[in-house]
Amino acid sequence: MLKVFVKETNPYFLISDSYFYVPAYFTQAALDDFEKKFPTTKVGDLNEKVILITGWSLELKKVDSNTVFTSYAGLEVRLVVNGFKP
């Protein structure tokens, strides 16, 4: 499990471990499970809050570094969130 700080939720969902920032991408199953367990909280409401990521994987994606600021040399490391809770 990862305990992280949500730096911002829009336009990118950026999380931090107090040293580095990485964009988080949520699976539809993670979002559905979150909405079912916490119906009064929206993902956008998590701005500047701490969340616990219970399931995750890393993905390396080819992107245009001119438009995706979280990338370097045409590659972006994405944290794919499969489960989380506030």
Angle made by CA atoms 56, 60, 62, in degrees to the nearest 5: 145
How far apart are the C-alpha atoms of 82 and 21, rounded to whole Å? 18
Question: Which pTM value belongs to this model?
Answer: 0.85
Q: Where do the domains of the chain lie, and which CATH numbers do they carry?
A: 2-85 (2.40.200.10)
Q: What is the mean pLDDT of each run of 10 residues along the chain (86 residues)?
A: 92 88 92 91 89 95 91 93 92
Whether the Cβ atoms of residue 6 and residue 13 lie closer than 8 Å to each other: yes
**pLDDT computed for residue 12 by the predictor:** 84
Residue 15 CB-density burial (10 A; 0-12 exposed, 13-18 middle, 19+ buried): buried
